[in-house]
Amino acid sequence: MAFHSHIGVLAFPFGTHAVPLLTLVRRLAASALGFQFSFFNSATSNGTIFNERVLEPCENIRVYDVWDGTPEGRVFSGSHFEAVGLFLKASPGNFEKVIEEAEREIGLKICCLISDAFLWFACDLAEKRGVPWVPFWTAASCSLSAHIYTDEILKALGSKEIDPIITKDLKSKFHHFLNIGPSILSSPTRQPRRQNRVPVVAGKPKQAKSVVYISFGTVITPPENELVALAEALKPVRPFFGDQKLNSRMVEDSWKIGVKVKDGIFTKSETIDALNCVMWSEAGNVMRKMFIS
């Protein structure tokens, strides 16, 4: 297949950031067959994504490993936050090196850079090359809005908005803004080697609409005492990292499709109360109707 344009894609290789970006790139690649996409990500993240997922091949996507900052000959054994620090310290030089390699192999200069918005230096790389930069925000639009309005929020806490209003406002702040979320990990997967997400089936046998799914994400998990309390309660949303506090408020107060545990801490009694609310109360029926609508 002959390609007339080359798009570089820079991933942030931690948490679930890389998968939604890859999902977007696969959709773009399927719609733009004349474009070659080069997906730049760490070897560890690429290994996880492509070893645990059954993906249909895309002729116009090439995958490249980017150095993660771990010193040569050393096996990294530190914390997640140390890994992020090493990676960012190695950037953007690690990306520049592999971008040049991709351009030589493909025979086309990159004409546009798409990156996870966490990789702020991609803006400088794009400007240096004289090409457009398209940042991809993997989280909900409410968290992006919170960054824009940090000063105002600190002055007047507690204002509630909903996504359509936030999206309209963000379009007034950015010249080119497209909301394509929410992002989901939609590709079919093989049985994962490590499971951080906890699916919970609750309720009466064979009763319709009686499944509750609880997810902690892939980076941060609750402390052991909260996991024990959750298990004792039969295994409601407990926000504790990143933009999850904002997401939980949107889920409960704006979208009205779920609940969060009181004070953001799992206890046996609070978890049971939240589960009963979702599964058996009239409020839970309203949540399900809101979700369907």
Cα 222 to Cα 96, 200, 219, 247, 260: the distances in Å are 37, 16, 10, 17, 14
Least confident of 26-40, 52-66, 163-177: 163-177
pLDDT value at 209 more than 70 = no
Residue 286 region by backbone torsions, left for phi larger than 0, else alpha for psi between -120 and 50, else beta:
alpha
The torsion of the CA quartet 28, 115, 20, 34, rounded to 10 degrees, works out to 20
d(CA 83, CA 183): 25
Pick the CATH number of 198-292 from 3.40.50.720, 3.50.50.60, 3.60.15.10, 3.40.50.2000: 3.40.50.2000
Position 223 scores a pLDDT of 72
Position 178 scores a pLDDT of 76
Position 101 scores a pLDDT of 97
Domain limits, CATH 3.40.50.2000, in the chain: 5-139, 198-292
Cα 92 to Cα 40, 69, 87, 250: the distances in Å are 12, 11, 9, 34
Q: pLDDT tens-digit profile of 125-140?
A: 999 999 999 999 988 7
- Determine the average pLDDT of the residues in 178-205: 47
Q: CB burial class (10 A; 0-12, 13-18, 19+) of residue 105?
A: exposed
d(CA 257, CA 143): 18
Angle among Cα 94, 83, 25 to the nearest 5 degrees reads 55
Strand 112-116, strand 61-66: pairing: unpaired
Question: What is this structure's pTM?
Answer: 0.62
157 against 232, higher pLDDT? 232
Q: pLDDT-based confidence at 198, cuts 50/70/90? A: very low
194 against 185, higher pLDDT? 185
Position 182 scores a pLDDT of 57
Strand 133-136, strand 35-42: pairing: unpaired
pLDDT value at 107 more than 50 = yes
d(CA 201, CA 210): 7
36 contacts 63 by C-beta, under 8 angstroms = no
Q: pLDDT tens-digit profile of 9-45?
A: 999 999 889 999 999 999 999 999 999 999 999 999 9
Position 201 scores a pLDDT of 36
Residue 135 tokens, joined: 């940042």
pLDDT value at 191 more than 50 = no
Location of structure tokens 């925000």: 137
- Which DSSP string corresponds to the chain? ---SEEEEEE---STTSHHHHHHHHHHHHHH-TTEEEEEEEEHHHHHHHHHHB-----TTEEEEEE--SPPTT----S-HHHHHHHHHHHTTHHHHHHHHHHHHHHT----EEEEETT-TTHHHHHHHHT--EEEE--S-HHHHHHHHTHHHHHHSTT----HHHHHHHHHHHSSS----------S-BPPPSS---EEEE-SSTT-TT-EEEE---SS----HHHHHHHHHTT--B---STTHHHHHHIIIIIS-S--B-GGG---HHHHHHHHHHHHHSHHHHHHHHHHH-
291 against 200, higher pLDDT? 291
Task: Tell me yes or no: is domain 5-139 CATH 3.40.50.2000.
Answer: yes
**Catalytic amino acids?**
17, 116
Residue 69 region by backbone torsions, left for phi larger than 0, else alpha for psi between -120 and 50, else beta:
left
